[in-house]
Structure formats: structure tokens, C-alpha cells
Amino acid sequence: MRLFLLFFLLLSCSEDSSTYYPLDKIKSWSYSVEIIPEVEKRVLYKKTNLSIGGKKIKISGKSKSLFPVIREDGTTFFYDITDKGIYRNGVKFLKDTEMKIEKEKRIVLPYPLKKNKQWEVESKTYLILRRYPYYDYRATTDFRLNYKILSFSESVNTPLGKFQECLLIRGVGQAKFIDSEIGSINIKIISEEWYSKNVGLVKMVRIEETDTDLFGTTKMIQLLENIQK
């Protein structure tokens, strides 16, 4: 009886966070992505994430159930659903033959989901860009992003419609980019993500703000356009 109860509790914990990031079935999400720099031209493009359901993946000779999500460029991210939340375990680029295990599993959504719950993940800056005639200069550096659950009752408008009672999480971080020619640049990063039950990510806003006019502040807005089950 105790073993059954423990199994039930673990299952319930897993379902709690996975309802906001459903990966157990074949499903695709299509997004519009707009990048709004302060010093460059705006960029608008589309991206698609395809979940192919649970798969058995061999890691160090052992089989493990993971949930692959394929991006439009062929990159595959592998997710693990546990009683402690949803984690990103590894990545496989189009040129790779095997999954590369991440040094530190990235927490996507933790369990239990409670207001003001906090966690930390590794991240990189990727929006800070200057375009020159013969090359693009991108200021990329590692930092820690500190996430916090802010709300479970957000309303979000998207091209696909309005979503009610969404989960909102916010990540805040500080970074410093050092270049031999440009010098030192301080960067403030804010990432806000909205998740809808049984749908997944419906909106994301990320801001990378520098303390130099050379790069200024860049904002990215990602909105759900379509979902196919």
C-alpha cells in the first residue's frame, strides 16, 4: 500500500509541472519571434518546436526515457520529467550522431510549482549584436539567471488567441562582457515566460540591456502562432 501511495505521489508531482510543458505526445508549436534592437534593424522570423513523445535514449550504456524536442534547424533538445520538475538533459545538433549531455541539467519548471519559488540556471547572452559590412559582432558571455514564479493567473494575448490563468516566471541576471578592443560591458538580462496548462509556452519576452551606446538595449518577443496535436 505504501509503495502504491509513493508511486501515486511521484506521478502527481510529475504531472503538476508537466501540464505547463506537455511533452508526452507528438505535438508542434509555431512561434513568431521579433528582435527589437536599439541600434540595429528589427528582425522578424518564425520558429517551430516539435515534440515526438517519450523515447528510450542510451546514456552511458543505460537506457533512459527522455522527451526530445526538435527545432526547425534540426537541433534536438532532450528533456527529463521527474518528481522534482522538468529538466533539459542534453542537446544534439544536426551534425552530431549522439546526444551531448549538459554539464548542468537546466531546470525548465521545478516541482512543486508555488508562487515565489526560486531557482537558478546557466545561460548565455545572445541578443547583443552589431552588424558591420563584412561581419557580425555578437557579445556573448555566460552568466547565471535567477528565476522566480510570479503568478498563476496571467492573461496573455497571442496571434492564436487569448490564454487565461497562465503561469508567469521571471529570470533576472547580470553579466560582464570583456573585449580587448571594446573593453568591459555590463549587461542586465530579464527573461519573462508565460505558460498555459496543456499548451506550453505561449509568450516569452527577453531583454538584454548594456551600459554602452555601441550595443544599447535589445528586446525579443516570442508569441505562439499555432499548435498542432
The 10s digit of each residue's pLDDT in 161-196 is: 999 999 999 999 999 999 887 889 999 999 999 999
CA 220 to chain centroid, in Å, comes to: 13
Domain ranges of the chain: 2-228
φ/ψ of 159, rounded to 5, equals -60, -20
Average pLDDT over residues 5-32: 67
- What is the tally of helices (H) and strands (E) in the chain? 1, 15
Structure-block grid coordinates of residue 227 = 499548435
159 or 55, which is more confident: 159
pLDDT tens digits along 61-97: 778 889 999 999 899 999 999 889 999 998 988 888 8
User: What gap in Å lies between CA 140 and CA 120, rounded to an integer?
Assistant: 19
- CATH T-level fold of 2-228: YmcC-like fold (2.40.360)
CA distance 13 to 197: 15
pLDDT in tens, 107-140: 999 999 999 999 999 999 999 988 888 888 888 9
- Per cent of the chain over pLDDT 90 is 63
